[in-house]
Each structure stands twice: as structure tokens, then as C-alpha cells.
């Protein structure tokens, strides 16, 4: 479905292959002047569509810019739906800048803004909004799970369109009943059942949304403990590089330090927090406050205990949990007994009592490099439990806050439909729900949302 796009009058161009220098650079053009630009740069009057050909490129003074390859792809069977040209030039900065500079001087041609090629694809009906978002996620994917999730987003509109159509059909029948029935209230049973069926589908989709967000954004792991228990050493071991300063001086870490890593193809953000203790220092106090906040925001909390200084494990765990405050029941908590090389724990009761029976206990020694692999396994298993099994491309797993918010609002509208006593108001709730679902894939367009989505793309895409 093509959409109105007044900004498409100019032909746009950009480097599409990433930063230079490189072996080869790809310069893309899209718009009605693409063919004219190709002729002016190559000095060739004719060429075959969709055939790559050798193309020396010249500027306006007929000075050779580069010996390149080029291809012309006529619309609408292109990414943007418009006439498209691509030049494959040598990837030196001077070469690329010379070609871009020559294109800039051509009439009715301008450099592309961030995401403008994709924006034209959307407005020309080549992609829906959920596919645009999925493309952005695919480009930024760091892990296999993120790549797989992004590819599965292609079918969001296919799954939601029947739901929206059912809602619109239900609304039409309901409004007809209002017009012709003597007493609509007596005949709502069938409509309520149909609305409930749609509601169940949306609720199932919503339940999978946390999984999608965790895969896309990464699970959050917080290392929490007293000062000098080895949290910074542990984050260095998990990251497999020196990201935190390690010192015997208590209170070295005064602010939260985050590092993004992969554990078994899953993205994880690990936070090293300031050590928890009583302090009169305002700076350290702020660091401790932030530590507690990071712990409360985490999906997985690792309570780090110095085994060489701990006299009562259960008391220490209770103290740390008391400092953190109440955690969401879905948060996974594990107890890390660090510095096990200094004290083997033979004199310490290492069994957690019933209060903490669900917590996993891991003994580590960063100095002796022991226990790190089991700790990685504990975190990986926790992340796997949060994200579940990998989805097939037939599943719809929402991963964008915008999409989730719209589905939440649609669920509320359907719940209010069931509660509405007035038939006209009930019908409006059905229409509102249908409109909200339509916004997910862009059937109903919000300009501010579009600007936000396309601005996240790089120039050239």
C-alpha cells in the first residue's frame, strides 16, 4: 500500500557500504534522476537494466574519478520502489568524496538523510512499519538470537492484520445490531465471546513481549556486595578484559560501570556497582544509591560475598537483600562466594537456609581463576530461562516498546468493551482497539513516531 510522500521529489544519494577506507564502497541513488546521474557520470547514453557493467566515472570537466562498476534497477521492483542506481567504486576516502561531490552538484539531487532510503520504501508501500523496525534491529544485531528475532518480526503485520480485520468486522456487526435491534444489551453474548477470543490472542502476544525485549536489549546483571569483595575482578573475568579498576583499597568503585557481553549467543549487560557500606561521603553515598537502583532494575542479581571475611553466610545474604530492598519475584538471585582460594570455607556453613533456598551458590576465585566457568553457566541458564527457547519465524514476539505499548492499550480497550453498558461506547472501544493494532504496522501513521524510527537508521539505509 503506497502512502503519500511529498518529500520524494528529489533524487537522493549516499554511501551505503559503511566507513572508508575499504576495498569497495557502494554509493546508492534513488529517485527519478537516478538514470540521468548515471548517464552523466559514465558518459554512456544506454545500458541494460539490472546488469552490472564496467563504468569509468567522470566529473563535469570530464576528469576521471574512478574505474568502477555500476548497475541500474528500474522501479518499482527495488528496495525503495523508485529507480535506483548503485556505483561500486574503490573505497578510498578521496575516491568516495570525489564521486559524492560530483553527485551533489547535479540538479534536483541531494544527499540522503538518516534512514531516508528506508523511509521511501515505507511510503512507497514496499515495507510496513514493523518491517522497518525489524530491519533496524537486524542491522544492529550483535548476537544470533537478536538476528533470529529481527528476522521473525517480518510477520508481525501478517499476524496482526487478521486480528484487526476481525475487530473491524465485529464492530460493523455490533453497530448494525445497535441500529436494528430493540434491545442490544440482550444480544451481546456472541459479541462478547468474539471480543474475548481476540483479547486472548493479544494477551498471549503480550506475555511473550518480555522475552523479545530481553533478546533485543539484553538481560541486565548486577554485581552487588560490600566493598572490596571482588566485584570488579569478577566483571573483568566475565568480560574477558580489563574494564574495571581492581584495587585492595575499599571503595575504589564509586559509580556503576556497565559492560555489554555475549553469553552463549545472548546479549547481557553486566553492571559492577559501588560497594555497599555505611558512609559519610556524599559522593560514595550517591554511588551506593545508584548501586541499589541498578540491582532493582536487573533481571539477575549476583550477591558477591568475600568468603575470607564472612562469618555467617545467611546473615550476609540477608543484609545485602535488606540494603537492596524488595526485588521483583521474576528476578534471579545467585550468591557468589568469592576469594575461595584465601579461605576454602571449611569453617563456614555454606548452606543457605529456607529463606534463600531458591538461590544458586557458586564459589569463585578470580586470582586462582576458578569457578568462573560455573558462574557463566549460572548466568547463562538464568538468561535462557528468561528468554525461553528460540522462536520460529511463525511466532510473533514483540520487542519494541512502541509495539508493546500499543498492544497494551488495545487490550485495555477490549476489556473496557466488555465492561461498557452503553452500546455506542462499547462500539467505540472496538474501533479504538482496531486503530491501535493498525498503528503497530503503520496502517495508521503517526508522523512523530515515524521521525523517531527513521532517525535511528544510518545514512545510506
Domain borders along the chain are 11-126, 144-214+400-441, 221-387
- Cell numbers at residue 408, please? 497494551
Question: What H or E segment, with its residue span, contains residue 386?
Answer: helix 372-387
**Which whole number is the average pLDDT over 301-318?**
88
* Distance from the first to the final alpha carbon of the chain: 21
Beta bridge partners of 365: 370
Which whole-number Å values give the CA distances from 334 to 124, 207, 265, 302, 352, in the listed order? Answer: 51, 25, 21, 5, 11
Instruction: Indicate whether 182 pLDDT > 70.
Output: no
Q: Does the pLDDT of residue 184 top 50, yes or no?
A: no
Tell me whether strands 53-58 and 219-225 are parallel, antiparallel or unpaired: unpaired
Q: Please tell me the predicted confidence (pLDDT) of residue 330.
A: 86
Q: pTM of the predicted model, to two decimals?
A: 0.76
Residue for grid cell 530491519: 135
Q: What percent of the chain has pLDDT over 70?
A: 88
Does the domain at residues 144-214+400-441 carry the CATH identifier 1.20.120.430?
Answer: yes
Q: Three cell numbers at 387?
A: 528468554
Phi, psi at 278, each rounded to 5°: -70, 130
Report pLDDT for 349: 61
Distance, C-alpha 205 to centroid of its chain? 17
pLDDT reading at 60 higher than 80: yes
Q: Residues 234-264: pLDDT tens digits?
A: 888 888 777 755 545 444 445 678 888 888 7
- CA 381 vs. chain centroid, Å, equals 21
pLDDT digits (tens, 9 = 90+) for 194-247: 889 999 999 988 888 878 888 888 899 999 998 888 888 888 888 877 775 554
Asked whether residue 361 carries a pLDDT value surpassing 70, the answer given is yes
**193, 179, 170: which is closest to 437 by C-alpha?**
170
**pLDDT tops 90 at residue 76:** yes
> Cis omega before residue 76 (within 30°)?
yes
Sort 448 into a burial class: Cβ within 10 Å, 0-12 / 13-18 / 19+: exposed
- Return all residues near 163 (Cβ < 8 A) that are at least 6 apart: 198, 201, 202, 437
100 pLDDT band, cuts 50/70/90, is very high
Topology annotation, domain 11-126? Gyrase A; domain 2 (3.30.1360)
Q: Phi, psi (5° rounding) for residue 176?
A: -65, -40
Q: How high is the pLDDT of residue 426?
A: 86
Q: Sheet holding 219-225: strands in order across?
A: 257-263, 266-272, 219-225, 300-306, 332-338, 360-363
Residue 394 phi, psi (nearest 5): -85, -15
Percent of the chain predicted with pLDDT > 90: 37
221-387, CATH topology level: Rossmann fold (3.40.50)
The phi and psi torsions of 58 (rounded to 5 degrees) equal -130, 150
Amino acid at each position: 500500500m503506497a502512502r503519500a510522500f511529498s518529500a520524494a521529489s528529489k533524487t537522493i544519494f549516499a554511501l551505503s557500504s559503511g566507513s572508508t577506507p575499504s576495498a569497495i564502497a557502494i554509493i546508492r541513488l534513488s529517485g527519478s534522476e537516478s538514470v540521468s546521474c548515471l548517464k552523466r557520470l559514465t558518459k554512456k547514453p544506454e545500458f541494460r537494466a539490472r546488469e552490472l557493467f564496467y563504468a569509468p566515472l567522470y566529473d563535469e570537466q570530464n576528469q576521471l574519478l574512478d574505474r568502477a562498476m555500476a548497475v541500474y534497477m528500474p522501479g518499482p521492483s527495488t528496495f525503495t520502489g523508485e529507480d535506483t542506481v548503485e556505483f561500486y567504486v574503490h573505497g578510498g576516502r578521496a575516491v568516495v568524496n570525489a564521486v559524492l561531490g560530483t553527485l551533489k552538484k547535479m540538479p534536483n539531487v541531494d544527499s540522503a538523510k538518516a534512514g531516508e532510503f528506508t523511509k521511501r520504501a515505507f511510503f512507497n508501500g514496499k515495507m510496513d512499519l514493523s518491517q522497518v523496525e525489524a530491519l533496524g534491529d537486524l542491522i544492529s544485531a550483535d548476537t544470533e538470537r537478536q538476528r533470529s528475532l529481527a528476522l521473525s518480526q517480518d510477520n508481525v503485520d501478517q499476524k496482526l492484520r487478521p486480528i484487526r480485520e476481525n475487530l473491524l468486522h465485529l464492530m460493523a456487526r455490533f453497530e448494525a445490531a445497535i441500529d436494528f435491534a430493540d434491545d442490544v444489551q440482550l444480544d451481546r453474548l456472541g459479541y462478547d465471546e468474539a471480543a474475548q477470543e481476540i483479547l486472548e490472542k493479544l494477551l498471549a502476544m503480550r506475555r511473550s513481549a518480555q522475552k523479545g525485549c530481553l533478546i533485543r536489549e539484553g538481560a541486565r546483571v548486577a554485581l552487588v556486595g560490600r566493598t572490596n569483595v571482588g566485584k570488579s575482578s569478577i566483571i573483568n573475568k566475565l568480560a574477558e578484559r580489563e574494564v574495571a579498576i581492581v584495587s585492595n583499597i575499599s571503595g575504589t568503585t564509586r559509580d556503576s560501570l556497565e559492560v555489554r557481553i555475549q553469553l552463549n549467543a545472548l546479549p547481557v549487560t553486566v553492571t559492577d556497582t559501588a560497594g555497599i557500606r555505611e558512609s559519610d561521603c556524599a559522593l560514595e553515598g550517591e554511588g551506593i544509591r545508584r548501586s541499589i537502583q541498578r540491582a532493582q532494575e536487573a533481571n539477575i542479581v549476583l550477591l558477591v560475598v568475600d568468603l575470607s571475611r564472612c562469618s555467617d553466610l545467611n546473615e550476609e545474604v540477608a543484609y545485602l537483600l535488606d540494603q537492596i530492598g524488595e526485588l521483583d519475584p521474576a528476578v534471579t538471585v545467585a550468591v557468589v562466594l568469592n576469594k575461595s582460594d584465601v579461605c576454602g570455607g571449611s569453617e563456614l556453613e555454606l548452606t543457605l537456609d529456607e529463606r534463600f533456598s531458591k538461590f544458586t551458590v557458586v564459589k569463585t576465585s578470580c586470582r586462582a581463576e576458578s569457578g568462573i566457568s560455573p558462574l557463566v553457566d549460572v548466568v547463562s541458564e538464568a538468561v535462557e530461562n528468561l528468554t525461553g527457547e528460540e522462536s520460529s519465524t511463525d511466532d510473533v514476539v514483540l520487542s519494541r516498546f512502541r509495539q508493546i505499548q500499543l498492544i497494551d492499550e488495545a487490550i485495555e480497550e477490549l476489556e473496557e468493551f466488555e465492561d461498557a453498558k452503553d452500546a455506542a461506547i462499547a462500539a467505540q472501544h472496538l474501533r479504538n482497539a482496531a486503530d491501535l493494532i493498525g498503528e503497530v504496522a503503520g496502517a495508521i501513521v503517526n508522523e512523530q513516531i515515524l521521525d523517531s524510527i527513521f532517525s535511528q537508521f544510518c545514512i545510506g539505509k
